[in-house]
Structure 1
Amino acid sequence: MKLNKIHHIAIICSNYERSKKFYVNILGLDIIKEVYRKDRESYKLDLGVSGNYQIELFSFKQSPKRPSYPEARGLRHLAFEVDNIDEGIKELNDKNVLTEDIRIDEITGKRFTFFSDPDDLPIELYEK
């Protein structure tokens, strides 16, 4: 099998409007398509990331909370590459998004930090 690229990442949120505002207005992702699926009472929002990747934001009634801490098996976090982490942190902080202290990847020597989306999904900024 030859895998070409990651096609999309699916995120289920607890409050659709709050998460839509976060991913569009705070992170600056582009809305590709928004659909309300009446039979599922669920929104599906396709978001573009610099024209390369796509995030699918879903809303479902009564979706259970997934624990983030302690770290459990499975997919851990979503990471975005940035050219300048200091600028990214400043932009997030200016929009009242708290970020952790900058850490250094002991293998690559690159700088990174974490912050959370409205449902406490860990998101990483990783400097190019």
Structure 2
Amino acid sequence: MTTKFVHHICIQTNNYEESLKFYRDILGFELIEEFPNFHNRYYNSWLKLGAFYMELQTGKLDENLNYVNPKTQGINHFCIWVDDLVKEVQTIKQLGYDFILKNGEEIYQVENGYLCKLIAPEGTIVELRDNRGI
């Protein structure tokens, strides 16, 4: 059997600069390649976090992308494992981002750890998780 693994996810955005800033400056992705004017798109870029890749792209020229409803079928969110969830939440809050509350809490316990969720500028739900107690 050949080795299989997930190579990347692709996220489209109407506000490239805001989404790029979020993933690069807030979540710590490294911008690997940036291609302006790529196949009739303003931008198509590659970001990396550890061994995980993300393709970040705009819609086609003069195309306004629709918002995805989180109550639809398909991918609901993606998760980033962090060493210190409390510290990550404090840092992200200081930068002006809000979290999705559950029972009034930003961080809540689930099996095998704690997590929180926030919404990226283009609407992608990002989960942050660790396995230590608060």
Name the TM-score class by shorter chain: 0.7 to 0.9
Matched, 1:19 2:26: no
Task: Give the 3-state SS of the residue equivalent to 2:23 in structure 1.
Answer: helix
Distance 1:38 1:111 in 2: 39
Q: Which residue of 2 aligns with 1:57?
A: 56
Q: Which residue identity does 2:96 align to in structure 1?
A: N
Q: Which residue identity does 1:63 align to in structure 2?
A: L
Q: Which residue identity does 1:33 align to in structure 2?
A: E
Q: Which residue of 1 aligns with 2:30?
A: 30
Q: Which residue of 1 aligns with 2:89?
A: 89
Count of residues paired in the alignment: 123
**Alignment check: 8 A CA contact 2:24 2:30 kept:** yes
Task: Give the 3-state SS of the residue equivalent to 2:47 in structure 1.
Answer: strand
Larger deviation, residues 96-105 vs 84-93 = 96-105
TM-score, scaled to structure 2:
0.83
Structure 1 residue 23: deviation in Å? 1.1
Matched, 1:119 2:129: no
TM-score, scaled to structure 1:
0.87
Distance 2:67 2:76 in 1: 14
Q: What is the aligned-residue RMSD (CA, Å)?
A: 1.6
Q: Which residue of 2 aligns with 1:103?
A: 108
Distance 1:4 1:32 in 2: 23
Matched, 1:42 2:42: yes
Q: Which residue identity does 1:91 align to in structure 2?
A: T
Structure 1: 5+ residue runs without aligned partners?
A: none
Structure 2: 5+ residue runs without aligned partners?
A: none
Residues 55-95 of structure 1, C-alpha deviations (whole Å, 9 max, x = no match): 11010122122112xx2211100110011110110111111
